[in-house]
Amino acid sequence: MNHTRSHKLFERARQLMPGGVNSPARAFGAVGGEPIVVARGQGAYLWDVDGNRYIDYVGSWGPLILGHAHPAVVAAVEDAAQRGMSFGAPTEAENALAELIIDAVPSIEKVRLVSSGTEATMSAIRLARGFTGRDVIVKFAGNYHGHVDSLLVAAGSSAATLAVPNSPGVTAGTSRDTLVLQYNDVAGLQQAFASHGAQIAGVIFEPIVGNMGVVSPTREFLTALRGLTQQHGALLICDEVMTGFRVAYGGAQQLLGIGPDLTTLGKIVGGGLPVGAYGGHADVMDHVLPAGKVFQAGTLSGNPLAMAAGCATLRALRDQPPYERLEALSARLEAGLRAAAAAARIVHQFARVGSMMTLFFAAEPVTDWPSASRSDTARFARWFWGMLERGVYLPCSQYEALFVSAAHTEADIDATIAAAREAMAQI
């Protein structure tokens, strides 16, 4: 493939922006080389500025479950734009999106809309501390909750990819009240509460991890999370920025049968526009200003364009659920990728929940960050480039999930599997 124009534009971008990107996950740092520069997307496909077409399994890192430029979402945004871009005042559309979220997620009785997943998790952490009057937050290595100072400790996603477990600029004081444990480690969680239970305000976790690759929780781990937080008066915060409306309409908590005190949302809830949300039990949420004293504000929170995109997306998912078809397509892709790796005699693990999945170039099952970190990232990089040159756009990190959308077809899946067989044979 020719990438001449992408190269020229990226060279210019590096003179204008740090590293040439506005988010490090886009920089291809984990796989080497330079990123493609995207011109447009339609359905399941992306085109770069050089005219190359790709079957897209990134989907803007998860939001585009309906595919690029879905007609209903585009129409809703166009209609909203005609009436005004932003007001900084209440609108009917805010009520509409809030009602859709509350109806879909039983643990959410009230919700506050913000502009990003990071803002949602930051606000949920502050609320947990304000509600309980405690300081300590428990998180898990390999779980990424946005670039919040107190949570950017042993994080997954781009922080793990770039081997920066503790970001410069995050002070010791900021992270002092964060306890980092291993995911799926029940004994470690029990010990943390035995030692610090009276100081723990909340536990934040990804119910299905997507930021060290896809990792599922054990039933014992989920039971311990809920039981210990209730026993010690701490809040359980379920970070569903990635899994919300992805693995089921009611999110991972519906799929797994868990009931957190607070939930954070993003990605799909904005339909491709910048939206985040945090919500939970009414008695907890009523501590947020102006109902309570926990401060959180945002000029663009609930802006009309984002509300329109979010409402159109959630209504489409509710009225014509794609989840059965997504499961069938994703199972077909999983079987094909497993077979391609086996045929090439490549040691691997595969993790999938619904339409999010990860092929790990690893010799042992991946259950936590230490086991994920032993993956062969050099082989992953060769696999990534082999697929890109064959017209398949995958996440540019071993530690990210790939996503199937409702716009993908069986022909797209089969073309991807054929590309995988060729690429695997060469790595």
In the chain (427 residues long), the average pLDDT of successive 10-residue segments reads: 96 97 92 97 98 98 98 98 96 98 97 97 98 96 88 54 55 82 96 96 98 97 98 98 98 97 98 97 97 95 97 98 98 98 97 98 97 97 98 97 98 98 96
Q: Is the domain of 143 the same as that of 235?
A: yes
Q: Is 293 noted as a catalytic residue in this protein?
A: no
Range of the domain at 227: 71-319
CATH number at residue 264: 3.40.640.10
Choose, from 261, 267, 368, 399, the residue flagged as catalytic.
Answer: 267
Q: What are phi and psi of 239, to 5 degrees?
A: -85, 100
Q: Is the domain of 297 the same as that of 346?
A: no
Last residue of a domain, one of 268, 285, 319: 319
Q: Is the domain of 170 the same as that of 207?
A: yes
CATH number at residue 414: 3.90.1150.10
Rounded to whole angstroms, the Cα distance separating 163 from 245 reads 30
Would you state the pLDDT for residue 170?
A: 78
Give the number of domains in the chain.
2
Q: Is the domain of 186 the same as that of 305?
A: yes
Q: Is the domain of 122 the same as that of 249?
A: yes
Last residue of a domain, one of 319, 348, 371: 319
- Return the structure tokens found at 355: 């339409």
Do residues 54 and 388 make contact, with C-beta atoms less than 8 angstroms apart? yes
Residue closest to 120 by CA, chosen among 252, 294, 265, 20: 265
Last residue of a domain, one of 319, 338, 355: 319
Q: Is the domain of 245 the same as that of 208?
A: yes
Q: Is the domain of 361 the same as that of 262?
A: no
Q: What are phi and psi of 322, to 5 degrees?
A: -95, 5
Nearest 5°: the CA angle 20, 206, 149 is 50
Choose, from 56, 185, 239, 376, the residue flagged as catalytic.
Answer: 239
Q: Is the domain of 255 the same as that of 142?
A: yes
- Return the structure tokens found at 61: 């890192």
Would you state the pLDDT for residue 339?
A: 98
Q: Is the domain of 81 the same as that of 183?
A: yes
Q: Is the domain of 193 the same as that of 308?
A: yes
Q: Is 139 noted as a catalytic residue in this protein?
A: no
Q: Is 267 noted as a catalytic residue in this protein?
A: yes
Which are the contacts of 116, defined by CB distance < 8 A and separation ≥ 6?
146, 266, 274, 275, 276
Would you state the pLDDT for residue 166?
A: 60
Choose, from 54, 144, 323, 399, the residue flagged as catalytic.
Answer: 144
Residue closest to 66 by CA, chosen among 269, 274, 359: 269
Q: Is the domain of 285 the same as that of 357?
A: no
Q: Is the domain of 263 the same as that of 355?
A: no
Would you state the pLDDT for residue 232?
A: 98
Task: List the 402-403 sheet strands across, edge first.
Answer: 349-353, 356-360, 402-403
